[in-house]
Structure 1
Amino acid sequence: MPKLPVPPLPSAAGRKALRALSYVPLLDPHLYQPSAQRPVRSKMRELRRDTQVAPHSHPWAQMAISMGGVIRLSLDHATYIVPPSRAIWVPAGLPHAVTMVETAKLYTLYFLPARAGAGAQAAWMDQPAWQQCRVLQASELLRALVRELSTDSDADAPLAPEALEREHHLSALVCDEMRRAEVMRLGIVLPRDKRLQHLCEAVLDDPTRHAGLEQWALDTGASLRTVARLFRSELGCTFTQWRQQVVLAHAVALAAQHLPIAHIAAELGYTPSAFSAMVRRSVGMTAAAFLGQHQLQSSGR
């Protein structure tokens, strides 16, 4: 199993000194293995902030969603910041690790593919769009359905026929809600070049430390021109475009603390108007919509 990059996402107060991660063993996924009888299985565990589920993979797809805190899912060369208002889809066989940015209940759903016996109703998982990680907007209905699914393992007593029938109905609704969900651009691509890795990890730790690429490049041992070229060749974008994705990820984590947009903008070195313009330019929606604050207002929080 490859060692995955999982740098922590510190809080605003703790960005200067990184917190140490504690590692927790993986709950045996084979005790929650989906089958033709139970094509969608769910497990739940409550994990404290700064803990990481050991890097792993499994032969079926999964969807992870937290109740109450931000999580971070890391691949070999990408990382995703996922607040409670979103869920993340991971295709089968892809090594990944989950880090808890905040204490939360972590639900993991496993999905049996059509070719393994789930039937035509699971054919959507074979579509190209579902063959890569994607962050989904999690509706209130999807979150409620996830909470209702049984989290018993195969070591527990089998479900009664009535409970099994109910699970089938809930599972079908979960799949339907996921297919309808809006896809959010929250992934941060990470480079393979060692010099650029060092720079990118520093930006992930604190994107506001320097204003421009010239200052960031000083610690890499490479020239400004070389670093700019590496961003284009390794990541397919400019440094400014990549850093904006990091800023958006930090904004998501801050928004999960129910901070107002003006506060989030200030933490990230923006005026409220400049931050709102950057968000709209990057993701095509208002800052309030992107950060889920319209949901908070509608729920009366």
Structure 2
Amino acid sequence: MPRRISYDPLPKLGPSVNEPVMVHLRLPPPDGIIERHRHTWGQLVYPRQGSIRVSTPGMMWIVPLFRAVWIPPGIEHEVVMLGRVEFHALYVEPKAAPLPLDACSVIEVSALMRALTHTLASDAVASRRHRQLAMRLLIEEMREAPSLPLGLRLPDDRRLRALCTAMMDDPGCARTLAEWAPVIGASERTLARLFQTELQTGFGVWRRQLRLARAIDLIGRGIPLAEVAAELGYANTPAFSTMFRQALGFPPSHLANSGESLH
């Protein structure tokens, strides 16, 4: 388990009616963590290097390259860097928000969205009018972006949350639920019941979804499929590929070859 380094990004200049999108480039330390906090504005976070893990009450997302997580105003969230990361944080005025104000989501980041974000973050826009046009176009790109089902439910129960957190830090861990029970301090039967009542799924299914999210992260970084399979606890690449295809409908090699789309 990596040692997390607390990171407090500055500046935190928020958006306004006249400047509805404020873009910041963040350069956190490897394995850095932005502790739980909330904003009065909406926020879109996407990595331009590496991957991040975003947690809110009840949900978690692993966000790789070319994807972004939308966090509405007022929602408490934590951001964890998975290794070395650079990311853009887009602060969005709630009245101009192009995405729902009551739920988080993950969207694809188009080449145009990346170009507009880079331009606004670098203050390379020559005039105020051009800056306003770039913000409007960026908001429209966010509105039209396809969403992706990359969320993973998290429990409220302290014992089950401790188990899920440990698994998120080591998705390839081969421990069975019976082997986790003494580590967590609850019986196997209790943990199995909690998975059903709190997450509406079983231990094996939840772990598979976690591994799938981590796989998308690793493949997006260009890690060979054999290494991805080994890190996630699969005996070989075919076993991993079978799980991936059953979950998403296409083999992991498709994502490795395209690098730009999950479709």
TM-score between both structures, scaled by the size of structure 1: 0.77
C-alpha distance 57-151 of structure 1, shift in aligned 2 (>3 A): farther
Counterpart residue identity of residue 43, structure 2: Q
Q: What SS does the aligned partner of 1:101 have?
A: strand
Which string of whole-angstrom CA distances, capped at 9 and with x for unpartnered residues, describes residues 179-227 of structure 1?
2222222222221212212222222232333253333334333333222
Q: What SS does the aligned partner of 1:209 have?
A: coil
TM-score between both structures, scaled by the size of structure 2: 0.87
116, 123, 139: which is aligned to 2:110?
Answer: 139
In the alignment, does 2:173 pair up with 1:202? no
Question: Once structures 1 and 2 are overlaid, which stretch shifts more, 223-232 or 253-262?
Answer: 253-262
On the 8 A contact 1:185/1:283 being kept in 2, the answer is no
The residue number in structure 2 matching 1:265 is: 229
The residue number in structure 1 matching 2:8 is: 25
Let me know the Cα RMSD of the aligned residues: 2.5
Q: Quick one: percent identity of the two aligned structures?
A: 37
Task: Specify which structure has the higher proportion of strand.
Answer: 2
On the 8 A contact 2:222/2:256 being kept in 1, the answer is no
120, 137, 161: which is aligned to 1:149?
Answer: 120
For 2:2 and 2:237, locate their aligned partners in 1 and report how far apart those are by CA, in whole Å. 29
Which string of whole-angstrom CA distances, capped at 9 and with x for unpartnered residues, describes residues 41-67 of structure 1?
111122221222243211110101121
Q: CA deviation at 1:266?
A: 2.8
In the alignment, does 2:16 pair up with 1:35? yes
The residue number in structure 1 matching 2:244 is: 279
The residue number in structure 2 matching 1:223 is: 187
On the 8 A contact 1:91/1:132 being kept in 2, the answer is yes
For 1:234 and 1:89, locate their aligned partners in 2 and report how far apart those are by CA, in whole Å. 24
Q: What SS does the aligned partner of 2:193 have?
A: helix
On the 8 A contact 2:177/2:188 being kept in 1, the answer is yes
C-alpha distance 100-211 of structure 1, shift in aligned 2 (>3 A): closer
Q: CA deviation at 1:22?
A: 1.7
For 1:164 and 1:75, locate their aligned partners in 2 and report how far apart those are by CA, in whole Å. 35
Unaligned runs of 5+ in 1: 1-17, 153-158
Q: CA deviation at 1:28?
A: 4.3
Q: What SS does the aligned partner of 2:213 have?
A: helix
191, 194, 197: which is aligned to 2:155?
Answer: 191
The residue number in structure 2 matching 1:90 is: 71
Q: What SS does the aligned partner of 2:143 have?
A: helix
On the 8 A contact 1:53/1:97 being kept in 2, the answer is yes
C-alpha distance 53-203 of structure 1, shift in aligned 2 (>3 A): closer
1:36-115 equivalence runs, <5 A = 36-114=17-95
Q: CA deviation at 1:284?
A: 4.0
For 2:209 and 2:91, locate their aligned partners in 1 and report how far apart those are by CA, in whole Å. 28
Q: What SS does the aligned partner of 2:19 have?
A: coil
For 2:122 and 2:45, locate their aligned partners in 1 and report how far apart those are by CA, in whole Å. 13
On the 8 A contact 1:139/1:181 being kept in 2, the answer is yes
C-alpha distance 176-280 of structure 1, shift in aligned 2 (>3 A): farther
Q: CA deviation at 1:35?
A: 1.6
For 1:256 and 1:195, locate their aligned partners in 2 and report how far apart those are by CA, in whole Å. 32
For 1:199 and 1:52, locate their aligned partners in 2 and report how far apart those are by CA, in whole Å. 19
For 1:226 and 1:100, locate their aligned partners in 2 and report how far apart those are by CA, in whole Å. 32
On the 8 A contact 1:217/1:224 being kept in 2, the answer is yes
On the 8 A contact 2:106/2:149 being kept in 1, the answer is yes
User: What is the count of residue pairs matched by the alignment?
Assistant: 260
Q: CA deviation at 1:173?
A: 2.2
On the 8 A contact 1:46/1:103 being kept in 2, the answer is no
